[in-house]
Structure 1
């Protein structure tokens, strides 16, 4: 039974927008007359972020050992033949192969002839002789995005965006921690690393973290850092000095930026240190991992599948064309002065080892939102959610919370009281309470009262049915789920749930209005009835 960069930057990163989705049509004649499989069109890239659209290409899926010289690509206006070669898997075909090789990791084959893919849309055909083997029609290409054939439609996504699967790791023991209570926890794996440290974040300005990274570099470890290139509100001068210091020490520091950026923001917060990984809700700065401000959640795990999954995600994100060295990026840029976080808070929650039955590694935009919606939809008893703020009322995660409450699941939503979101969060909490009253649903929401234990909520997590925990960088809004790079863990097991449920309960009970409107009305009614009864007894006496 349960007990009853600059700050404006955080607000803007949380704002939800609706992603653009374009569609097209695809048809295929899948086999030759002899019954052998034919190549098919996997994707089109009509609108590169280059002058004159140089480097545009078509991607084929080619069965093993197919001689592709018998095929050609045509758009009706021009036709380009494929050189006589044997290929297999996915191959990019281009009339400007040298430019295309700088855009994709797929093998590139140069086309013979003329082919210019229209940005406004057209029909692209793969031909063998006079026969159309496959055809794709697209409309309104998106600059810098790849149109992938998915059945009968085309989905556009940034070129180079990954397609990471959900990673599920068998049970083990992990270490759970809360901030600002345990600031040593996220840094300790870095301090102990001797072989590698891959740190991913939105921002990094902590001298403690920088010291640990430089020390690992001097011990001979391979140390790499990947951050967001253009955080909302601009990068602070203190962070720029920190990144200069890391670069000067030989640490590889790169930022995701530029017109070919695959994600709206690189907002993930994790580190791989030798055979361990840290996944948390906080930025690598004094306000977050330094323990000087924010309420945050985090986990340290040695589960090999999770560590390997994060390693692969880091390699994919740091190794593509939108990743720029810090020393090149900073040239000619000015940085803003920021207010340092210097708060001091009690250490009520210590780092604890907790058993987990399974851990799921989720990332956005590939799979996290769908998996989390499914987790909420599977809830039977209770859901506690902590967020700095939440997105649009009709976003998938918020709809899932209301569905859960409508079927009787007890839902509590705790939001930040930071000055830059307080008014919005008060309105959101009131809207949830009014909805619960109208629908007689066990849902309530309120704005937190830190009560001296932290400055503001920055945690992004949930405890579901006292047996699953969600912890990671994902703010519950549509933009973060569909456009950002985010990393989330789902921990299965009552031990982990008990730890974070205790943190949540303490924060929930610290104060703030949380009584549902319906309960207040009922109490008022009882008071009125009691008053009338008392008057009647007095009169008759």
Structure 2
């Protein structure tokens, strides 16, 4: 038999034995080839909304008709009005020296007289003021300081009670009768404890102490926003660096830009030009990126200041978020959400494979604008001048003077119909909603990430999808700073897939002339939902960072990102070229090994690239 024919037949055997039909090509998943069904894609129901402390953005109980669920306030978990005074909030560890101004908040029935009421930690006791009160009341040993820390009315405690920052149990007493008992663990700095459990001490005063949750002071607590949107412009980088710049250039009224870092002179020029034509331009960035602020930021900040652009940096001691890590812009009634930083290697199209989307919708823009306004006005933001004075600027270049790489446009930006959009925020609601979406997967799940933590809930939900028969593929970055951890994760998932006979495959991206590294943070679910945004798949991103994502519903928009995934998964056309002298016997042996062996394929060696922090 002709040796080429033997090899060809062996490869057919390999394809059949290792998994059946071949993966569809990028062309077959193009928007033009998408499912033409007119049936809209309906999102799975939202299982729960966040429970919010009073005074946070998002704590209003009135439901908006376009929201999938309304947040629950701390007051909602109790009978209303309260049958007796009870402790509903604690602030043991403010950012003040010596925790001066620490306080607790009572919620009381109307016209409650506090004479003979006390609060104790079992060692020291403080007396409540002899007042008649209604509703919420903050109590503090330092009421003048506390007044700057809360919007509740403040009264003074008489005594020496201090709220222990390492955790404690407090009893509220009326004379000798214990009316309420709460307990809390170690208090994170600048976070407030708020009551989340329904409880009625008047009925059962001997029950266990009530516990609650911690929430950063000034952080939002917003539900998932579900908006009816007719179309969206999908784009990827490095293919379409013109899309972010065009969005900025088209702003006439407001331009709100949020990011982790900003080092692009081109973006700075566009922002200054917008300010020159009378647009309200504001920028919010992270004050302490991992490893320090890139040196190129300093010149950009100077240019923005000279051009009349208001810039603030968020972070520092007592910050609401571990990192301010979103990448979005609100331009009039348009919202741009992407995975890429405002730097040449990101939105500039000089390095990263990223995903992005532009939504021309007033509701989405306003909802995202509200997030920007809340973050921008927080107590942990600093003026550009203050930030520049205290920042540590570091050279993050590789020292080479070579011109930046140039990449061809293989995936044009495209405006496509959508059935709806959900705005997801971390730490408010993104993780539970994303796990809901993953849990609803039935057929196929495509995940593209720079890296994935091995202990995060979204990875566990991805594994559960594979266990119920969903075809799961993960495409990860192969840059030197992700290489070891991604290879280790791939080996672990490979072992699980083999042990449990799962349809689960992991690849580290091959060297390619289409981009330098994967920086996308996306997923495509059942060819019907695409998730685009800034959140890396790790607990810090979902639980501590400010992140912004969108879930895009619709077969055509999902097909766009799936096509990009497939092209990057397949890699360069010559990757599978076999040495002509390889015998058919060896190829068949490899095919048989594929049935019982590895489900993970690693292509190429990692190439050094600029690390995106």
Normalised by the length of structure 1, the TM-score is 0.84
Structural mapping, 1:221-232, within 5 Å: 221-232=279-290
Q: Which residue of 1 aligns with 2:489?
A: 428
Q: Which residue of 2 aligns with 1:345?
A: 407
Q: Which residue of 2 aligns with 1:175?
A: 233
The number of equivalent residue pairs is 494
Q: Is the 8 A contact 1:103 1:321 kept in 2?
A: no
Q: Given the superposition, is the C-alpha separation of residues 520 and 110 from structure 1 closer, same or farther in structure 2, using an over 3 Å criterion?
A: farther
Shift of 1:371: 1.1
1:113 aligns with 2:171: no
Shift of 1:287: 0.4
> Where does the alignment leave 5 or more consecutive residues of structure 1 unmatched?
5-25, 514-518, 528-541
Q: Which of 94, 99, 119 lines up with 1:74 in the alignment? A: 119
Shift of 1:244: 2.1
Q: Given the superposition, is the C-alpha separation of residues 332 and 276 from structure 1 closer, same or farther in structure 2, using an over 3 Å criterion?
A: closer
Q: Which residue of 1 aligns with 2:382?
A: 324
Q: Which of 308, 320, 328 lines up with 1:262 in the alignment? A: 320
Secondary structure in structure 1 of the residue aligned to 2:556 = helix
Q: Which residue of 1 aligns with 2:430?
A: 368
Shift of 1:422: 2.1
> Where does the alignment leave 5 or more consecutive residues of structure 2 unmatched?
1-20, 26-73, 198-209, 577-586, 596-613
Shift of 1:119: 2.5
Shift of 1:120: 3.7
Secondary structure in structure 2 of the residue aligned to 1:118 = coil
Q: Which residue of 2 aligns with 1:531?
A: none
| Higher alpha-carbon deviation: 173-182 or 71-80 | 71-80
Q: Which residue of 1 aligns with 2:466?
A: 405
Structural mapping, 1:136-151, within 5 Å: 136-151=182-197
Secondary structure in structure 2 of the residue aligned to 1:198 = strand
Q: Which residue of 1 aligns with 2:298?
A: 240
Residue by residue over 1:250-308, the C-alpha shift from the partner in whole angstroms, topping out at 9 and shown as x without a partner, is 22211112211121111111111111111100000100000011000001112333222
Q: Which residue of 2 aligns with 1:7?
A: none
Residue by residue over 1:99-155, the C-alpha shift from the partner in whole angstroms, topping out at 9 and shown as x without a partner, is 223334x23413252342223433334455665543322243333321122213222
Q: Is the 8 A contact 1:388 1:415 kept in 2?
A: yes
Secondary structure in structure 1 of the residue aligned to 2:411 = coil
Q: Is the 8 A contact 1:244 1:327 kept in 2?
A: no
Counterpart CA distance in 2 for 1:350 and 1:207 is: 24
Shift of 1:172: 1.5
Residue by residue over 1:422-454, the C-alpha shift from the partner in whole angstroms, topping out at 9 and shown as x without a partner, is 233233223322321221111101011252011
Q: Which residue of 1 aligns with 2:591?
A: 523
1:485 aligns with 2:530: no
Counterpart CA distance in 2 for 1:290 and 1:349 is: 16
Shift of 1:507: 0.6
Q: Given the superposition, is the C-alpha separation of residues 168 and 431 from structure 1 closer, same or farther in structure 2, using an over 3 Å criterion?
A: same
Q: Which residue of 1 aligns with 2:62?
A: none
| Higher alpha-carbon deviation: 70-79 or 339-348 | 70-79
Q: Is the 8 A contact 1:80 1:111 kept in 2?
A: no
1:417 aligns with 2:498: no
Q: Given the superposition, is the C-alpha separation of residues 312 and 59 from structure 1 closer, same or farther in structure 2, using an over 3 Å criterion?
A: farther
* RMSD value, Cα: 2.9
1:93 aligns with 2:139: yes
Q: Which residue of 1 aligns with 2:258?
A: 200
Residue by residue over 1:385-412, the C-alpha shift from the partner in whole angstroms, topping out at 9 and shown as x without a partner, is 10001112x3211111111111111111
Counterpart CA distance in 2 for 1:245 and 1:275 is: 26
Shift of 1:69: 6.0
Q: Which of 361, 364, 367 lines up with 1:303 in the alignment? A: 361
Q: Given the superposition, is the C-alpha separation of residues 73 and 191 from structure 1 closer, same or farther in structure 2, using an over 3 Å criterion?
A: farther
Normalised by the length of structure 2, the TM-score is 0.75
Residue by residue over 1:463-507, the C-alpha shift from the partner in whole angstroms, topping out at 9 and shown as x without a partner, is 110000011001011121111111110011101101111111111
Q: Which residue of 1 aligns with 2:10?
A: none
Q: Given the superposition, is the C-alpha separation of residues 195 and 134 from structure 1 closer, same or farther in structure 2, using an over 3 Å criterion?
A: farther
Q: Which residue of 1 aligns with 2:102?
A: 56
Counterpart CA distance in 1 for 2:389 and 2:360 is: 39
Q: Which residue of 2 aligns with 1:385?
A: 447
Structural mapping, 1:116-135, within 5 Å: 116-127=162-173, 132-135=178-181
